[in-house]
């Protein structure tokens, strides 16, 4: 890419487009602060903006600082997560809040290495928070950015299913040297992928770098790589887990196993889903076949780092006025 198109030729038009078209979202505003950015980053992974907005606002109204969340039970984080999907993110965010409170006096750390050391934080989220909250120079690679770079730079319709070393090298090569400009570029390229260079229906007529796009100039060749992975939900263990969690979220206290048994007819799958929730730290078993959302610290399995396979899809940028949403037309799961 950089051998045929100078990176600097992309920066100005994409950033100018972003300044004119960036959406006004709460985590992009200065008052959101680093904690608001971090919360949005956790919520926007695998979940579209329109579903995140009400939960995000309720979350920050209840827990405006990491210490507020850390002081509450992890089960309350799972309850407040609602049906955003993949509720282990709630446990990981709770674990990160506890670590921020213990190690950093309740302030989200500025340094990338310190962010990366927090439980539940992977390379993507550390780079996103450092860039979007603190205006630092980092390559922030989510699915939307990877798609923009794949088309504009390498002339293919879609990036690989998992992030590659070559993509990381390309992202670093495209990163502006100036720190402020780099942070704006990260936000702008992400928003471009979310709104214009979408997965299914790219709007090349609205793209500020259409005249430079290698994929467009090549005649938009069809994808020749492995089939794009879709997400199934109906009938899966994720659906059963979601139904079980919905009962527990609505309950004031512990719930008997007999009540949980009514949510799904197939007993083997139902038991497997419940066992998985317990193993993940999302459900706490009690004596007498009773279950509740966790009241104590989540086990280590519930605080595993995020997947670093291109899965983190969305990001927030308060001061930078730019974030990303799920590719249009992709249905977000309601459990995971």
Residues with active-site annotation: 41
CB 303 within 8 A of CB 208: no
- DSSP line for 205-242: GG-TTGGG-HHHHTT-PPP-SSPPPP---TTSHHHHHH
In this structure, the dihedral spanned by the alpha carbons of residues 290, 282, 33 and 126, taken in order and rounded to 10 degrees, is 160
Where does residue 122 rank: exposed (0-12), middle (13-18), buried (19+ CB within 10 A)?
buried
Query: Residue 291: phi, psi to the nearest 5?
Result: -140, 150
Q: Can you tell me the distance from the alpha carbon of 292 to that of 78, in angstroms, rounded to the nearest whole number?
A: 11
Where does residue 329 rank: exposed (0-12), middle (13-18), buried (19+ CB within 10 A)?
exposed
Q: How long is the chain?
A: 336
CB 208 within 8 A of CB 189: no
């Amino acid at each position: 890419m950089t051998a045929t198109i100078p990176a600097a030729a992309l920066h100005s038009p994409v950033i100018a487009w972003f300044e004119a078209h960036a959406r006004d979202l709460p985590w992009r505003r200065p008052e959101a602060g680093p904690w608001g950015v971090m919360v949005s980053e956790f919520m926007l992974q695998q979940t579209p903006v329109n579903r995140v907005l009400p939960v995000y606002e309720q979350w920050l109204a209840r827990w405006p600082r990491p210490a507020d969340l850390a002081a509450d039970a992890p089960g309350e984080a799972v309850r407040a997560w609602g049906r955003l999907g993949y509720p282990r993110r709630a446990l990981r965010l709770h674990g990160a809040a506890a670590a921020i409170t213990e190690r950093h006096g309740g302030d989200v750390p500025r340094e990338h290495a310190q962010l990366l050391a927090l439980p539940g934080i992977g390379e993507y989220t550390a780079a996103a928070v450092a860039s979007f909250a603190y205006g630092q120079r980092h390559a922030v690679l989510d699915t939307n950015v990877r798609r923009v770079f794949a088309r504009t730079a390498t002339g293919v319709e879609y990036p690989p299913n998992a992030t590659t070393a070559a993509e990381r090298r390309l992202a670093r090569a495209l990163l502006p040297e100036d720190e402020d400009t780099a942070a704006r570029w990260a936000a702008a390229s992400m928003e471009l992928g979310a709104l214009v260079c979408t997965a299914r229906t790219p709007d090349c007529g609205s793209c500020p770098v259409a005249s430079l796009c290698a994929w467009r100039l090549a005649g938009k060749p069809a994808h020749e790589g492995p089939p794009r992975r879709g997400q199934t939900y109906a009938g899966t263990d994720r659906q059963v887990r979601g139904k079980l969690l919905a009962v527990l979220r609505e309950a004031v206290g512990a719930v008997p196993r007999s009540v949980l048994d009514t949510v799904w007819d197939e007993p083997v799958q139902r038991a497997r889903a419940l066992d998985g929730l317990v193993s993940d730290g999302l459900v706490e078993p009690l004596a007498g076949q009773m279950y509740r959302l966790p009241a104590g610290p989540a086990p280590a399995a519930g605080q595993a780092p995020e997947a670093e396979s291109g899965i983190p899809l969305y990001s927030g940028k308060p001061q930078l006025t730019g974030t990303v949403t799920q590719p249009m037309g992709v249905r977000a799961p309601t459990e995971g």
